[in-house]
Chains A and B, each alone.
Chain A
Amino acid sequence: MKGPKMLKVIENKPIAGYVYSLKLHAPELCERVLPGQFFHIKCGGDKFPLLRRPISLSYTLMEEGCMVLVYRVQGQGTKNLSSRRPGDPLDVLGPLGNGFEITNRHQRVAIVGGGIGIAPLVELAGVYGKRAVVFAGFRDETFLIEGLQQRSPDVRIATEDGSVGYKGFVTDILAQHLKEHRFDVVFACGPRPMLQRVAEACRKALVMCQVSLEQRMACGVGACLGCSCAVKDTDGSLQYVRVCKDGPVFWSEEVCWDE
């Protein structure tokens, strides 16, 4: 039966301000995990912090039997996680949730990430390679750019302070690109206001869009109904679904963005 696994930390290093790259030895999970899925991690402390923290797969390193999770230090849980050293065991549950819906019919895709939301898109960039255009947005400091470029050469960068690439929001360059180019699907992950703008741009361009949502989670497996988000049912009525089990990836059309 499945259960939490103790994985060995291979590396846990800062790659930008408050952003860490955690490499774990997990050959068996590498084979199974899909882009967009997440792991529920006991970040340390017996009773405080109490709950696990959901962190998405960033990318796998098959030849090393390792997977890399990239996270931002946000609160006590991720702060504790950042103090783990190589060789330490880590209590990991997963992979959990549904990944992105990937099909061979997609000949040309856009992958859009904002901030730490770029992390869950790296493996996906590897799946689509040259068929993808990647749009990566940052406030100032960039990260994971090399990893993206290795997997998918066409990476467009936006920074809010203009230090790298286009000065402004990543959604601006996406919207412009959508006017001139045809995509079969758009994949997006990032802060909710950004996702909402991506969804709106896709709606105007008549392109289907998958978004990976974030929500505070308790169980991570679908039992507690704590991480619900509002979606539109087929009859148009609002209903709550579980980000952990029914998502975290949803079609942007389903999501009730104003809830």
Chain B
Amino acid sequence: MNRVDMSVSIAGLKLKNPVMTASGTFGFGEEYGEFYELKRLGAVVVKGITLKPRQGNPPPRTCETPAGMLNSVGLQNPGVDYFLEKELPRLLDKGASVIVNISGATVDEYCAMMEKLEPSGVAAVELNLSCPNVREGGIAFGLRPDAVYDVTRRVKECGDRPVIVKLSPNVTDIVEIASAAKEGGGDAVSLINTLLAMDIDINTRKPVLGNTYGGLSGPAVKPVALRMVHQVAEALDIPVIGMGGILDWRDAVQFILAGARAVAVGTANFVNPLAPVDIIDGIEKYAMQQGFSSVEAMVGALL
């Protein structure tokens, strides 16, 4: 059998394969870089950063729920300057293609970060318009089409790097929001971020999470994510990075068939630290068996 062309073009980037890590589940690559070479990934999407350091939400920050988990980390991060000085050079040394997820309380904060990142070696910027855990996490923008349009357009004006817009599933019409990102000049959309959720301990009669609410991820959200990816890919001409509950290569293939040009692996990292590389191998085998010459030929190949 011939080898499959695993590369994909997305948001002006040529990735060696369609598998990325989902922001917030992979730190800055240091920990999982001990399990495999980061350059094997299509791209490393790093932990969301903000203009100033943030200490994050009080614990407990995670709990398991049926076929999923909640988190309310709250964007704990060392800030954009520390990232550029300490974390990015290490990632680039490893040969990783780096996508930086950024969050801001105001449009100006997004722009300030974009300006700082522009001269660095990052491949692209992912605008987090959807963190459910902190007010400054962009969700204020992500729920309104006009705000999504505005912040995307303004950030695009601040630099030439490709801009990926990460969307919240906590909306009535995902296509309307994705459309606003496209109109604002977004080069791609990432969907979905976590679903706003909670859990309660009936013995203490308290919320399990220190922050009361958190984001639901894992296999439990996959059907919702697949539906949203499919809706956006059908309706709009903008590349979609699909994520939400991808545990193995079968899940990843589903997203690609639904119309995603790339996928991101999040919660699965916690279950299997080798999940992203196992998924790359699995997609290749599936494509070979199904007679696809390339991953790009699989995109949206739902019958």
Q: Which residues of A contact B (CB under 8 A)?
A: 1-4, 42, 46-52, 77, 93, 215-230, 238-240, 245, 259
Contact = CB atoms under 8 A, between A and B. Distances in A.
Nearest to B63: A216
A68 B269 CA distance: 26
Given A223-B26, A226-B62, A51 B270 contact: yes
Given A2-B35, A219-B25, A219-B31, A52 B271 contact: yes
Interface stretch (B65-73, B142-150, B254-262, B279-287): B65-73
B58 A259 contact: yes
A222 B271 contact: no
B31 to A, nearest CB: 4
Contacts of A222: 27, 30-31
B36 A1 contact: yes
Interface residues of B, number: 37
Contacts of B58: 230, 259
Contact of A226 (B36, B61, B218, B274): B61
B60 A48 contact: no
Which of A48, A49, A245 has the largest count of B CB atoms less than 10 A from its CB?
A: A48
Interface in B1-39: 24-27, 30-32, 34-36
B56 A228 contact: yes
Contacts of B270: 51-52, 218-220, 224
15 contacts: A2-B34, A50-B67, A51-B64, A52-B270, A52-B271, A219-B25, A219-B273, A220-B270, A221-B32, A222-B27, A223-B26, A223-B32, A228-B56, A230-B59, A240-B59
A160 B270 CA distance: 38
Interface in B175-229: 218-219
Contacts of A238: 55
A27 to B, nearest CB: 22
A48 B68 CA distance: 8
Interface string B247-270: 100000000000000000001011
A2 B34 CA distance: 7
A48 B66 contact: yes
Contacts of B76: 225, 228, 240
A96 B255 CA distance: 33
A50 B273 CA distance: 13
Contacts of A46: 247
B56 A225 contact: yes
Given A2-B35, A226-B73, A221 B273 contact: yes
Contacts of A47: 67, 218-219, 247
B62 A4 contact: no
A193 to B, nearest CB: 14
B106 interface: no
Contact of A245 (B31, B35, B59, B274): B31
B120 interface: no
Contact of A50 (B61, B218, B269): B218
Given A47-B218, A223-B25, A259-B59, 4 more contacts: A77-B64, A217-B62, A218-B267, A221-B32
